[in-house]
Chains A and B, each alone.
Chain A
Amino acid sequence: MKPLIRAEGITFGYTDKVVLRDIDFDIAEGEIVTLLGPNGCGKSTLIKIILGLLRPGKGTVFFNGTNIAHVTAKSLAREIAYVPQIHKSSFPYSVIDVVLMGRIPHKTFFFRYSNEDMDIAHDALERLSIPHLAERPYTDISGGERQLTLIARALAQGARTFIMDEPASGLDYGNQLRLLEQIINLSREGYTFIKSTHSPEHALWVADRAIMIKGGVIVADGACDDVISNERLFHLYNARVNVMKLNGSLRVCVPESICGCMAFGATG
C-alpha cells in the first residue's frame, strides 16, 4: 500500500548542532504512531518538519506521494491538522471562535464564516461531547477542555491526519484518559495520528506503533508491544522500568526503583 506520509532522509540542524539525522519512515493511513524520546531528542522538530513549519536541511516529506515543500500552507492544512500543546491564548476568544479558525484553509482571503462553517464547528464540538463550552472564553476553561477544543478545531479543519505535540502534557489524570479515549474513537473512524508523548504507557495503550528517537536518530521503530521494552526504555530515558503484561494483552510500565522487586513476573 502506498504510504500516507513518507519521510526520506530528514536531516535538520543548526550550524553548531545536528538535531535530526537521516530520519526515514512510512506511515500508513489510519495508523496511530507515537514518537518517544527524551527531552531535546528532536521530536518537536520532527513534528514541525512533517507539518511544513520547518524546512529540513536535507530530505523530503511526502504526503500522499507529493513533496510537501511544493504544496501551499492552505492545501496542506486541509489534509494535516496540528493540535499544539495546550497553551493559554493572549486573547479570550470564545471556544466556538477557536474552532471556527479550523475553517480558514477552506476560505479565500476576505472571508466570512457561512452557516455551513458554523454547523461544522458546532458538529465538531458535539463529536467531542463539549457543545456546552461553545460560548465560554477559551482562556477560562480547563486544560483538558482546551485540548478537546483544539481537537475540535482540527476536526472542523476537515483534515484526516492529526499531528499532536504532547497532547497529554498539562492535563490531569482523568483528562489524560479521556483524551486517549477520544484518540481511539477517532482512529476507528479512519483518522491517522502522529503524536509525541513522554509516557510510554500512553503509547502502549493507544498507539499501534512507536518510533523511538534519541540524539536525533531513530533507535527503534515498530509495533509498540515489540518495541517498548525494558532495555529500550533504559536506553531512551536512562531509567530502569519494567514493562509488564496484565491479564490479557494490556501492558503497563512500572519503575523498578519504586516497585523494588521483579516478583510481579515482568514479561519485558
Chain B
Amino acid sequence: MDDAWRERFRMRALQAVTKRAPYGNDIDLSEFIQTGRIATTIPEDVKRKSLEVGVDVGEVKSGTYFQLDHSVLLSRLASRIKGLELMPADLALGKYEWLRGYYWKALSVEQDKYTAMAELRQTKGYFIRSAANERIERPVQACLFIDTEGVLQAPHNIIIAEEGSELNIITGCTVGNRTKRAAHLGISEFYVKKNATVIFTMIHSWGEETYIRPRTAAIVEEGGTFISNYILIKPVRDIQSYPTAYLTGRKAKAKFNTIIYASKDSIIDLGNRIILMEEETSGESIFKVVATGTAKVYNRGQMIGQSKNTKGHLECRGLMLCPTASITAIPELIAEHSDTELSHEAAIGKLQEEQLNYLMSRGIQPDQAIGILVKGFLDPGLPGLPESLQADIRSRLSLLDRSGGGKKEPC
C-alpha cells in the first residue's frame, strides 16, 4: 500500500514521542517489543479467553474482527448483512482515499507520547462503517488480543456511522494466559453523523502487569447519539484514559457509562470529557466503581457547556470494600455560556450493613451476600442499551462473580 500520505503524521508523531500525558504515570514504552505471535487461525486457548471480554467467535453477530497481537485473524461480516462494512483499518485506508480525512481527525497525533507511539508503531485496528439509514441491530464484535510477553499493541480504529444509521459495537480487549507484561495503546476515532447512533461497549480484562493507554474521541453531529459503555473487572497494572466527545451539531447527545471493579494493586485513572459545543446538546457520565485490595482509582470528568440550552451531568458512585484501597473523584464543570446547565454528584462509601443483614436473613452466607451486593451495585442497568447487550454484560458480571472477581478480597 502506498502510504506516503501518512508521512506528515509520522513527522508530527516524532515531535511528540517524549511528550508526557497530563494524567497517569509516565510509561517507558521503549522496553516493549514489536514482534507478536504469528497465527493464521484463532487458537483454542485464545478463543476461550476472549469469551471473558464478551467476544464469542462462534456466535452469530453482525460481524467479527479478531486481532491477535498484530495479526488480523478474522474480519468478517455475517451472511446477509447489508449496509455494514468491517475490515482492517490499513486495508480500508488503502481502499478509500476519502477515509484519510478521518485519520487523526477526532484525535491529535501529537496529543501525547502514546498517540505518537501509536502512529509510529501502529499495528492494524479495525474500520467499521454503517451506511446511511441502516440500522445494524445485532452488535459487531471485535477482539484485540495480546498474546506475547512484552509486546506493544497499537491498533488504530476508525468507526463511522453515516447519517441516520445505527451501529452497535462490542469490543473486548484482553491478554493471553501466558502473557504478563505488555502494553496496549488503542486509538479509536468515532464519527457519528447527523441523526446517527453509536453504542460502543468496551470490555477490558487485562493482566496484572499490563500498561494500558487508550486514546478515544468522538465527533457527534446534529441529532446524533454516542453511548460509550466501559467495563473493567480484572486487575491491571496501570490504565489511564480520558476520552472526549465533541458534540458539534444541535441536539447531539453523548453518554459515558463506566463500570469498574478495581482489585489488587491496580492503578486506574479514567475520566471522560463531553464538550457541549452546539445548542441543545446534552451529555451524561456515570461512573460506578468498587475498590478493594490496594487499588487506586481516579475518576475524572469534565463537562464543558459552550452553547445555549445545553445540559450536562457527571456522576460518580464508589463502593469501598477495603480500607487500603482508594477512590478519588475529580469532577469538573466548566460553563462557557450563561445558558448551560451543568451538575455533578459524587458519593463514595462502604457496603450498607442493613442490606448485607437483609440478604443474610435469607440464609445467604456473608461472602456470597457481599458478592451479590457488589454485582448489584455494578449491575449496569445501562440505559439506551438493547436487552440482548444488557444480558450479555450481566452474564459477564455473574461470570466474574463465580470466578471470585466479584467477591470480597482479603484486605
Partners in one complex: no
Binding site for B on A (CB under 8 A): none
Binding site for A on B (CB under 8 A): none
